[in-house]
Amino acid sequence: MLVAQETPARLDGDTPAERAAAMVRWVATIRPAAKDEQNPKASAPCYAARLVLGIDLPYALAKLDAAASHRLAMGRDRIEQWKKYEAAKDKTGLRRPGPALDPFDKVALINTYFLGKSRIPAATAAKIRDYVALYDDHKELQGYARGAWNYKLMLDASGFLAAEEWPDLVDRSGLDASQIKEATRARLFAGFSEITGKNFSEYGATIYNGVNLSAIRMLVEFARDPEMRKRATMTLDAMLLDIACTWNQGYNIGSASRAKYWYSSDTGLESMASTAAAAWIHFGAVRSINTSGLGWNHGFWMAPPGRYKAPDLVIMVARERSRPFLTRSHIAAMGRANVHRMTWHTPTYSLASQWDQPGDPTSGLYKESRRHMLKWISDKPSSTFIVGMENPHRPYNLGEKRANALGYGENGFSQYMQHRGTLLGLYAVPEQVKVRHHVFDYPYFKMYAPFPVTGSIRKRIERDGWVFCHNGSMLMGFHCIQPWKWGKRWGQHDMLWCEARRNGWILETAPLASYAGGGVDAELDRFARAVLEKTRIKTDGIDSPSPTLAYRNLEGDVLEFRWQAHAEAYADHMKVNGKPIVFDSSQLHRNPWVAQKVGGPLHIRLGPRRLVLDFETWTKTETP
């Protein structure tokens, strides 16, 4: 009898194939907790990994069958309960929602089926087919799936593949297999066009983008329709290219529309989460990664062997970090929110931010977004710095009078200005917010800055209102304009707090090489003296209704920043050396190697090599 290998603490590999194999081997050693065994979302990768490797098969097949049986029975029970509610609604006046069939379960069972198809008994396969038949959203997506990309892609990708596999499939709304294929194919193709031509609303999502990648990869590997495989492959190329542009040696450093809780921002080689774990397979890291916090239940699906290979030039874009450069992207799919992302990369750290103008402080954009971050290469965990603010749990429902968790979401009145390695923050938070005809108190205004105490900051000192940090591979200085104080430690972070409603702050960064020599104390002292001697801050407008902040940075560039009210159109609110910053909404991607206009082909060029992805004709042209 084959026995699964002992669980390693870390994963590594020199090539995508080696890293993928390492992840599959590791997941095949995991046995889910008893409470998760029948939850495909949490457990199916453990069974699928064993099926791929051909090990521990009695366990994997028994648990997979039990999970499929449980979900099938639970789904049928929920549908019957829903029917009873519907029948009684005329008498009771109550209407209950439809059955909550989870797309995570659907996609996990379908993915596992195809990965282990040759080993899975017909009886288990029939249960998976029958579970898919319980869904009634193939004809038209419903509820949350209308807006959330991960739901849309999971539901449609799994539905399409199931319809191809089982010609006798009929779903709960009465669609047969050919009709399911037709409906899901049309939506998937439309989605591929939006993702590749406009980017999409789950950009940068720490967890959910990994889910999106996995759903599309499933189509690349298992769809019989050649046009589906081709478009899915090119869409996957484009999505990985977007991550490649924010990647720095294993750290994914960019703004994100969805980053739930602090762990979704505080990612790195010691806790990657699913999106970075999926990208790590293709792009690698500066050293091995920790299996803790890996997000394997979603990232695993990118690991099993198959036909998909990320283009060489996409991998090269992710790995070329020998010199500083700026990468920009625009999320045209966000419409009026007008989201623009940027990341300043150096060989040892990256600084990212986002400028947007949704026009309303109650926009859902703020609920889970992460709009700036600094990460540095470190042999210690938590090499992340972000300035947070208190914010409402659901900004579009202020009547809840409920605050978000620390490190979760953004305050709708905070704004950022970035120039290379310098980042400015500015905010003006009112005491009340008017929403239509209602006025709500707005008690969400305190600013906080978590400084990790995990060893990723080797030394921290305070001088003249600045907090200076030696981070091993780089140096940073943080300055808050209004008075601040240290508060109670939060997890593995010291917390700096400011309670002003109008305020500004400065984050200045520099490579260690510019100040190297003499050890940590000397290097940090040299950096601190340079900041205090060379920079200048003008704060006389910080308390005005529309606060202003001017700063001359270490490089001698003068940054002028004026806070922008939500109803106010952007009009040179940010200037560098007197020249207004222009946010170009015609460009989707821009950096030294990548160029794409909104709706146009994607061009990648490194040296003499060229790759063009044309998303109108769905063709690739490569010059070796």
Q: What is the mean pLDDT of residues 48-57?
A: 98
Q: What is the mean pLDDT of residues 24-42?
A: 96
375, two tokens: 């990460």
Which amino acid belongs to residue 506? Answer: I
**Among 238, 148, 276, 261, CA closest to 201:** 148
Q: What is the pLDDT of residue 85?
A: 74
Q: Which of 33-42, 92-101, 557-566 has the lowest mean pLDDT?
A: 92-101
For residue 90, name the pLDDT band (cuts at 50, 70, 90). Answer: low
**β-bridge partners, 396:** none
Whether 20 has a pLDDT exceeding 70, the answer reads: yes
Per-residue pLDDT tens over the stretch 120-150: 999 999 999 999 999 999 999 988 888 899 9
State the chain's mean pLDDT as an integer.
95
Q: What is the pLDDT of residue 93?
A: 53
For residue 4, name the pLDDT band (cuts at 50, 70, 90). Answer: very low
CA terminus-to-terminus distance, the chain: 47
Q: Which comes out higher in pLDDT, residue 613 or 84?
A: 613
Which amino acid belongs to residue 57? Answer: L
For residue 87, name the pLDDT band (cuts at 50, 70, 90). Answer: confident
On whether the pTM is more than 0.85, the answer is: yes
| Dihedral Cα 428, 430, 431, 432, nearest 10 deg | -160
How would you label 429-448 residue by residue, b for 16+ Cβ within 10 Å and e otherwise? beeebeeeeeebebebbbbb
Q: Which comes out higher in pLDDT, residue 567 or 117?
A: 117
Residues 384/265, Cβ–Cβ less than 8 Å: yes
Residues 41/59, Cβ–Cβ less than 8 Å: no
Whether 1 has a pLDDT exceeding 50, the answer reads: no
Q: What is the mean pLDDT of residues 361-388?
A: 96
Longest Cα–Cα distance in the chain? 82
Q: How far apart are CA 255 and CA 547, in angstroms?
A: 24
Q: What is the pLDDT of residue 2?
A: 37
Whether 273 has a pLDDT exceeding 60, the answer reads: yes
Per-residue pLDDT tens over the stretch 386-397: 999 999 999 999
Which amino acid belongs to residue 24? Answer: V
Q: What is the mean pLDDT of residues 98-124?
A: 92
Q: How far apart are CA 163 and CA 129, in angstroms?
A: 9
Q: What is the mean pLDDT of residues 179-205?
A: 97
Q: What is the pLDDT of residue 112?
A: 98
592, two tokens: 């030294």
Whether 5 has a pLDDT exceeding 50, the answer reads: no
**Among 282, 272, 273, 276, CA closest to 303:** 282
Whether 485 has a pLDDT exceeding 60, the answer reads: yes
Three-state secondary-structure class, residue 285? coil
**Among 43, 46, 68, 42, CA closest to 57:** 46
Whether 99 has a pLDDT exceeding 60, the answer reads: no
For residue 28, name the pLDDT band (cuts at 50, 70, 90). Answer: very high
Q: How far apart are CA 259 and CA 274, in angstroms?
A: 12
Which amino acid belongs to residue 433? Answer: V
**Among 551, 554, 257, 564, CA closest to 424:** 551
